Amino acid sequence: MKTNTGINHRLLQAFLVQAALISLIAILGVYAARFVIGDVLIQRALDDEASHYWMLYQTDNTSPRPNTYNLTGFLKPGDVIPDTFSELKPGLHPLENSNSDYYLIHVSENNGKTLYLEFNGEQVSELTLFFGVFPLAAFLIVIYLSGWFSYHFLSQAVSPIIKLAKTLENLDPQSDEFSEKLKHALPDNVDQEVAILSDALSNLSERIESFVIRERNFTRDASHELRSPITVIKIATDLLLEDKTLKENQIKPIQRIKNNAADMEELIEALLILARESDNKLSFEPVCINDVVMEEIDRTRILLKDKPVQVSIENKQQLFVTGSDKVLSVMIGNLIRNAFSYTDEGEVVIRIEGIDLIIEDSGIGIPEQDVEKMFKPFQRGETKLRGGYGVGLTIVKMLSERFNWPINIESELGRGTKVIVAFPEGSLS
């Protein structure tokens, strides 16, 4: 399952994105205000000043030029015009080499005369800064503080959920104190939704704890109750086989009972392994795959009796795997048993290549469309003739997935089957 970052981190991201968007909008607002003041309001005011002067000039050509703190007028011809003004065309022009963006020259013409209005906008710039930037900065500070308090409040609101998640992460579901620790993971004073979530998880933990107890009891009882009669059957068949007075036609069914009892014992062991929640009760140690193969061949060779089948073992190297010898015996034994059961003539070749165990036979094979189905329960080839319960490969697949031993089957109908089991953490000697 794909996981995202923590809730607190995502809240902080939302706060930062919100702050960035507000800052961007504020900066754009400053530039818009600057455009409105510089290119609209000031130009409109200077146009009105020029129009007003030309109206006065038409009435009295000796009317004085505009001369205020921010505005100075020059008339051409008649006045001494600064050199920087002489080349300017009618319109509004920023004065070059000026430290202020609002130091402007307004040029207008009327009846062959030219009016230059020199506008010193330093005061306007200061007022813009005072009434524009400072309030904007105060506004941003208020927005940032309110956003930070909102983030802090939300962090406190979700902190019980984060604490609950960390508590769950550190708890062992098999622990006897699992439910109690989960119930006391949160303080008494929490939001209603958090309390509902906590109660639901507590109820779930109690159900899990009850399930674990039932699983432990089942595996314990099944281990004792199922193995005991099988042990009795095996001892009884061994005693019967020691009877020298038995005829050949009597020995075969007894031997068959013994073999099926051994198969059932392995099946029960595999099912109990898969039923356990953890593998703590299994002994993990370096196991030689070569030795397991030899033992399982000896145990299942009875299946090849009266069959013209040759078994070849290619042990060029020793492959060691850290695991349970019981698990490996069940897994490899099922694969070898299948190879022996479904091969009527030819050969079965078992070899170790690197970290792979390869079991290849010349048996009846499996149709290509049925290869994947062989891992499903109760899938068997030639069921009525071969016997079995149709769960062998299912158990093998479950063991391979549980212990990370990938298995692959290649088969062709009428030509045989090739099974490859990989042991990624295996070592060679």
Distance from C-alpha of 338 to C-alpha of 341, rounded to nearest angstrom: 5
Query: Residues with Cβ < 8 Å from 264, sequence gap 6 or more?
Result: 230
Distance from C-alpha of 261 to C-alpha of 50, rounded to nearest angstrom: 116
Report how far apart, in Å, the C-alpha atoms of 258 and of each of 226, 232, 243 are: 16, 11, 15
Range of lowest pLDDT (178-182, 209-213, 259-263, 339-343): 178-182
User: What local confidence, expressed as pLDDT, does residue 388 receive?
Assistant: 47
Cis before 77? omega within 30:
yes
Residue with tokens 């030819």: 346
Query: Residues with Cβ < 8 Å from 400, sequence gap 6 or more?
Result: 331, 406, 407, 421
Distance from C-alpha of 49 to C-alpha of 46, rounded to nearest angstrom: 5
Question: Two tokens at 369?
Answer: 């469309």
Q: How confident is the model at residue 422 (pLDDT cuts 50, 70, 90)?
A: very high
200-229 pLDDT per residue, tens: 777 777 777 777 777 777 777 766 677 788
- Assess whether pLDDT exceeds 80 at residue 76: yes
Residue 338 CB coordination number (10 Å): 26
232-244 pLDDT per residue, tens: 888 888 888 888 8
User: What local confidence, expressed as pLDDT, does residue 349 receive?
Assistant: 94
- Assess whether pLDDT exceeds 70 at residue 416: yes
User: What local confidence, expressed as pLDDT, does residue 347 receive?
Assistant: 93
Supply the mean pLDDT for the chain: 77
Domains in the chain with CATH codes = 7-141 (no CATH), 175-281 (1.10.287), 282-428 (3.30.565.10)
- Assess whether pLDDT exceeds 60 at residue 1: no
340-352 pLDDT per residue, tens: 988 999 999 999 9
183-204 pLDDT per residue, tens: 666 666 666 666 777 777 777 7
